[in-house]
Structure 1
Amino acid sequence: MSAAGLDEAVQAPDDLFWQEHSERITEPDEELQRIVEAADLPALLAALAAATGDTSFLTPDLRPPLKPVDTVSHPHGGMSAEAQERGRAAALAGLRRLRDEGITRSRMLRHAETGTILEFLTNGHTEWDGMLRHELDLAPDKNGAPDWQFDDVAAGREFSALIVGSGVAGLAAAHRFRQAGVPFSIIESADRLGGTWQKNRYPGVRLDTPTFGYSYSFAQRSDWPHQFAQGAEIREYLETVAERSGIAELVEYGTRLLSADWDPETGLWTVLTRVRGGTEQRRTFNAVITATGQLDIPNIPDFPGRDSFGGVAMHSQDWDEAVDYRGKRVAVIGTGASAYQIVPAICADVESMVVFQRSAPWMLPAPSYHDSMTEVFSWLRRKVPHYAQWYRLWVTVLGIPGRFHTVRAEEAWNGAPLSVSARNQEVREELTRILGEQFSGHPELLKHAVPGYPPGAKRMLRDNGVWARALTSDHVAVETSPIREITPTGIVTEDGTRHEVDIIVYATGFRPSEYLEGIEIRGLDGVEIHDAWDGDARAYNGITVPGFPNFFMVYGPNVGGVVAGSLHFMLERASEYALKAIREVLARQVKALDVRPEAMERFVAWVDGENRQMAWGQPYVRTWYQNAKGRVSQIWPFTNVEYWEVTESINPADYDFLA
């Protein structure tokens, strides 16, 4: 296709960060060649095809094979050296064309063009198209935003929804509801929006997933500073999203939901909220959407004597930025995600540190964990129309299959409980080899650094060597004897060792399986939701619960991904599903809809069956992915594609409609 069509008007897509024009390319061929040599080829080729309107060079021999990733990502999705050479030649020709023809924007793609580029990026996985079009700005059928308006479906009807929480999930829900014109209120118990990213301000806090995989489809920021964004950058992003979408001015801060009671006669939820100062208020809503998160309730073990400690004690989520840890004796309890970030961030500044370890973490190599985005990436996002959006889509493509193949258990595997399959054992051996190099000369530490459970059974961290360097420092000790008690001056372990410290940091994680903790939700017949769950939270698609009409959860049970996929995608889809359900209620002119128990049980059986095939679902594994009943209630064991499919429409057979 020629570039003639590029004069067509560019339709602004569903993206709060949309920029129609890029900067003009003026660099000579030599500079363009240098850029191409360092570029991520699949993303660049896709961007050039869209910008030039020419998809003819996306030949099958250039498709990235998407070679499965065990521990380290394969450059360019596993393209061969020969394919890379041909791809660079095509990319150079494309950049020259942008320069010579002065192309600084892409028009919206046609349906067939979108399919051609997606088929190239996915190596022919056309079954992924629907999910990827949800994420693609230039797709004519980008399918996240609602295609209906409240006034067109239910003009004159009194209807309002309550969204609880203004973190990542709450903002996703509020944006979609605002787009559809559905009246809603949004409350937030804290003084600022941002959820877990507003609360977690400890030293070193940052993403442990690539930045471009951690953003909304409707807010595709292009100028991220770091490859793994720092906490402050995520906070800034969420605040900007809220401002640009108009949500920031709607949030009722300092307002906590205490309870919600369903009235079958009126078809309304009566909610009780408490604001600053303790004032309580009752209000009614037609629907309630909870977006209260999973990693929100700190888990602080009830060690004997915990309250007697005379120094500073704080959970990682409640980090006191006024505390000066420099030159102090510090204890860090835990070796999970927050400890992994805190320990290297502060160890050089403390007098001494002792890290209390119950179990060691598995860590995936990530040499760029603390790196900025590259100079070449910066050039491409400024000069190639929508390159950053295509790069984000490429990251999304790579995340679809993820590392599922490394954590699926083989029946009767004889390597248990240290591994679950031959491939899992290979991953174990490779990661153990890396640990051996990092802890060389420290055999006692290495003994405790190698986990005694299969890779993937628990959350895997990102490793660029800083953890091992911190633990092998002369003034840092690792304590593996369990904690017996906490005294006014420190910590005593079961072997009798006393550790005198000034500061105790509880990097002990959260209680994610305790959904809606501290909130009473009473549905049909006055049944309270926690009584209905009896310690085992379940929801259809992770969203709706039988007996609780017009009640929707965003980031509910079994929607968390750990080896594949995008959390933002899951949260957006849950929000969009809730909105589709409300449209059904409005269009049918009924009070509410209530998911049928058999639909939820079918969904739970499907999810449970797959989770039992994974490393985290093995009977000998204990992880926070499981609830008090031993069921894996946190994890989505499929890809984002399956979640796109199950949330694409409301199946009337799965619901009762209450008139």
Structure 2
Amino acid sequence: MTMSLTPAPKSTDAEGRFGDLYWVDEYPAITESDDELRAFVARAELPVLLASLAAALRDTSILEPGLVPPLPPMGPYLEMHGGMTPAQQERAREVGLAGLQRLRDDGIRSVDVLPQEMADEILAWFTGGRSHDAGYAGQLKHELDLAPDKNGQADWNFDDIAEGREFEVLIVGAGISGIAAAWRLQEAGLPFTWIEGAHRTGGTWWKNNYPGVRLDTPTYGYSFSFAQRTDWPHQFAQGHEVLEYLEEVFTRAGWNDDTVEFGTKLLKAEFDEASGTWLATTLTDGKETTRRFQAIMTGVGQLDHPMIPEWPGQDTFRGAQMHSQEWNHDVDLAGKRVAVIGTGASAYQIVPAIADEVSELYVFQRSAPWMLPAATYHDLVGESAEWLHAKVPHYGHWFRLWVTAGGIDGRLHIAKAEDGWTGAPASVSRANEDFRQAITERYEQQYEGRPDLLDVAIPNYPPSAKRMLRDNGVWAAALRKPHTRVISNGLVEFTPDGLITGDGEKLDVDVVIYATGFRPSDYLDPIEIVGRGGLEIHDYWGGDAKAFAGITVPNFPNLFMLLGPNTGGVVAGGLHFMIERAAEYAVKAIRELIVRDAKALDLKQDALDRHIAWVDEGNYAMTWGQPYVKTWYKNRFNRVSQVWPYRTSEYWLVTEQVNENDYEFLK
């Protein structure tokens, strides 16, 4: 069965505050029999079903107090239905079936924005009372179309407050961050020029097209709050599906190839203190152009600069070499002897995808990955889920909110270090150790009869110190193949025909694949950005990039970064949420300087220092912040410069308003 909808634009109020590019005005009629409905209920995520029914029926009595989902902390395995007991599940299915029958019999096919009291009541039940927390509620309402106080879109318009003032923003990048920036600026009526160095939109999702590429986070949590697609085919979307989504968002937003200056790179931006503007030098088709802008928003990404280590003899190798982000599809791997260097996220997807194609497979591992059990990692959404998303009004939106709510706390409790814990460096707390033991038991099952592989499969660092991967068994299966070898004693040299391992063994190799990651600490490279007093931003950072909420930097007025330092979520959070909030904060900051008749606003150094001290304190208390842990989350100063260590709801609070005391307003 295939279910699909052609969403119609949402009807909005006069302010257009409830816009969603995928809003559906009317859902197909439910015509199924009671037995068919019962089968769909049996496979539904029950808290999601009951919340969507309460909203559609405008009846919160179905949200019985005894059915509040317990929402226990996440462990190694995901608990369905928010940890509901079997008795709760049985009752919830009875209530759910009755609700679907009412939808069918009453012909209810659409839902409008909820009354405030009802929205709050449903959210309180849905989250076990957690929505009474300001940041928690704020984040959920940022994501919920049906909330009358959904936040995110500016509640003002540039033409209404600027009185003919010239103000234009330069957006750099047309990936996820650039799209978020352009949408939020467009909503506020702020003029912008948009550039992208590549030939198309999509950012990392067109650049990374290696075999097996897909999300390692649930698909429904990987979308914009203003573009909530609900008919995803896979539970963890394939790479091309994410790219197609971004392209469709681009089109639905009313943009086209003329909206973005593709093939245009930002070479240099220099702040002119006299006028309070930025002079931006761009390069297009070999021609440099300098233009003036009142503000700059950068959306150049964190994981964009491939990191390829250097070894002796590398340039003498006669075979093919490629980084995962620079995949050469002209290279035929069939029957080839292939070496994959690295065992991180991209290797985890590449190795199983090519294992049956190659004749010999050498996997060079420096450190083993911890992996979260995810039996459905390669699975389709399924027919029952397709039906629920297609026919129950806004089930898909509530399901997306369910994923979002789960990510606010995520597995932070597993990553938090316990004072006085004696199990280091293998683990950092009782919860961390319990997680370690549970995953180790899974490894023992996967590598049964292969003690050689088990020895190298179990990491020697605490769980969550590095990015955890999704495990549905394909990695272990690929390593167990007779033509696969795991090399854990290092790579010391290339030869024209192969590689030499750490113990001196020569391997004949046809193709080398670098799954060696990126240089995430190199923010804004290679752009030259010169701020007040002629200070260049990379000189200011000195290799240790810092920004308030990852967005603003002292001495660089009206420069706003999206997905900047310390905004990555690794055991909790959501990429799109962090990016959107940064864009929204930038829009708020622009409003502040306009209404104050200022040319620009510049973050004060003491405001940054206070913020970074708080962020560092949080990171030092986590697995990845321990002094004995080596992880790419840290820069060369051993400071964690990539990760946000708190709930994402804390980021909502930090970015909810621009504190005037944190900034100098330049007149």
Letter of the structure 1 residue corresponding to residue 266 of structure 2? L
- Equivalent residue for 1:81? 86
Query: How far did 1:44 drift?
Result: 0.6
Give deviations 1:28-64, integer Å, cap 9, x for gaps: 1111111111110011111101100101121221111
Give deviations 1:486-519, integer Å, cap 9, x for gaps: 1111111121111111110000000101101111
Query: How far did 1:552 drift?
Result: 0.5
- The counterpart of 1:463, out of the listed 463, 471, 486, is 471
After TM superposition, the score normalised by the length of structure 2 is: 0.97
| In structure 1, distance between residues paired with 2:522 and 2:269 | 17
2:544 matches 1:536: yes
2:363 matches 1:358: no
Letter of the structure 2 residue corresponding to residue 475 of structure 1? H
2:102 matches 1:97: yes
2:279 matches 1:270: yes
Letter of the structure 1 residue corresponding to residue 333 of structure 2? Y
Classify the secondary structure of the residue corresponding to 2:445: helix
Classify the secondary structure of the residue corresponding to 1:491: strand
2:155 matches 1:150: no
- Equivalent residue for 1:585? 593
- The counterpart of 2:260, out of the listed 233, 246, 251, is 251
- Equivalent residue for 1:48? 53
Give deviations 1:570-601, integer Å, cap 9, x for gaps: 00000000010011111111100001111111
| In structure 1, distance between residues paired with 2:418 and 2:138 | 31
Give deviations 1:139-168, integer Å, cap 9, x for gaps: 111101111111001031111110100111
- The counterpart of 1:635, out of the listed 643, 650, 661, is 643
| In structure 2, distance between residues paired with 1:183 and 1:212 | 31
| In structure 2, distance between residues paired with 1:262 and 1:247 | 29
2:122 matches 1:117: yes
| In structure 1, distance between residues paired with 2:593 and 2:484 | 60
- The counterpart of 2:481, out of the listed 454, 457, 473, is 473
| In structure 1, distance between residues paired with 2:576 and 2:520 | 17
Letter of the structure 1 residue corresponding to residue 111 of structure 2? S
Letter of the structure 2 residue corresponding to residue 629 of structure 1? F
Answer yes or no: is the 8 Å Cα contact 1:326–1:350 preserved in 2: yes
| In structure 2, distance between residues paired with 1:231 and 1:123 | 34
- Equivalent residue for 2:20? 15
- The counterpart of 1:507, out of the listed 515, 519, 540, is 515
Structure 2 gaps, min length 5: 1-10
- Equivalent residue for 1:522? 530
2:116 matches 1:108: no
Alignment of 1:32-431 (within 5 A): 32-125=37-130, 126-127=132-133, 128-249=136-257, 250-276=259-285, 278-431=286-439
Query: How far did 1:266 drift?
Result: 1.0
After TM superposition, the score normalised by the length of structure 1 is: 0.98
Answer yes or no: is the 8 Å Cα contact 1:175–1:247 preserved in 2: no
Letter of the structure 1 residue corresponding to residue 55 of structure 2? A
| In structure 2, distance between residues paired with 1:195 and 1:628 | 26
- The counterpart of 2:440, out of the listed 432, 437, 456, is 432
Query: How far did 1:632 drift?
Result: 0.2
| In structure 2, distance between residues paired with 1:21 and 1:487 | 64
- Equivalent residue for 1:5? none
Give deviations 1:312-350, integer Å, cap 9, x for gaps: 100000001221111111110000000000000011011
- Equivalent residue for 2:580? 572
Letter of the structure 1 residue corresponding to residue 401 of structure 2? L
| In structure 2, distance between residues paired with 1:614 and 1:599 | 24
Instruction: Decide whether aligned partners of structure 1 residues 608 and 248 sit closer, same or farther in structure 2, where only a CA change above 3 A counts.
Output: farther
Give deviations 1:621-658, integer Å, cap 9, x for gaps: 01000011110000001111111111011110110000
| In structure 2, distance between residues paired with 1:602 and 1:61 | 44
Letter of the structure 1 residue corresponding to residue 280 of structure 2? V
* Aligned-residue CA RMSD (Å): 1.1
Letter of the structure 1 residue corresponding to residue 119 of structure 2? T
| In structure 2, distance between residues paired with 1:154 and 1:64 | 48
| In structure 2, distance between residues paired with 1:120 and 1:640 | 20
Instruction: Decide whether aligned partners of structure 1 residues 10 and 521 sit closer, same or farther in structure 2, where only a CA change above 3 A counts.
Output: closer
Answer yes or no: is the 8 Å Cα contact 2:12–2:19 preserved in 1: no
Letter of the structure 1 residue corresponding to residue 36 of structure 2? E
Classify the secondary structure of the residue corresponding to 1:348: coil
Letter of the structure 2 residue corresponding to residue 91 of structure 1? G
Classify the secondary structure of the residue corresponding to 1:400: helix
Answer yes or no: is the 8 Å Cα contact 1:10–1:108 preserved in 2: no
| In structure 2, distance between residues paired with 1:557 and 1:382 | 39
Question: Share of identical aligned residues, percent?
Answer: 57
2:32 matches 1:24: no
| In structure 1, distance between residues paired with 2:256 and 2:657 | 29
Letter of the structure 1 residue corresponding to residue 493 of structure 2? E
Answer yes or no: is the 8 Å Cα contact 1:595–1:655 preserved in 2: yes
| In structure 2, distance between residues paired with 1:45 and 1:550 | 45
Classify the secondary structure of the residue corresponding to 1:327: coil
Letter of the structure 2 residue corresponding to residue 212 of structure 1? Y
Structure 1 gaps, min length 5: 1-8
Classify the secondary structure of the residue corresponding to 1:271: strand
Decide which moves more: 330-339 or 305-314.
305-314
Answer yes or no: is the 8 Å Cα contact 2:27–2:110 preserved in 1: yes
| In structure 2, distance between residues paired with 1:59 and 1:589 | 53
Answer yes or no: is the 8 Å Cα contact 1:121–1:397 preserved in 2: no
Letter of the structure 1 residue corresponding to residue 82 of structure 2? G
Answer yes or no: is the 8 Å Cα contact 2:279–2:292 preserved in 1: yes
- Equivalent residue for 1:3? none
Query: How far did 1:272 drift?
Result: 1.0
| In structure 1, distance between residues paired with 2:65 and 2:610 | 40
| In structure 2, distance between residues paired with 1:268 and 1:405 | 45
Q: How many residues align?
A: 651
Letter of the structure 1 residue corresponding to residue 45 of structure 2? D
Letter of the structure 2 residue corresponding to residue 52 of structure 1? L
| In structure 2, distance between residues paired with 1:488 and 1:525 | 51
| In structure 2, distance between residues paired with 1:107 and 1:354 | 56
- Equivalent residue for 1:625? 633
| In structure 2, distance between residues paired with 1:308 and 1:174 | 46
Query: How far did 1:10 drift?
Result: 7.6
Classify the secondary structure of the residue corresponding to 2:592: helix
- Equivalent residue for 1:4? none
| In structure 2, distance between residues paired with 1:68 and 1:392 | 19
Query: How far did 1:483 drift?
Result: 0.9
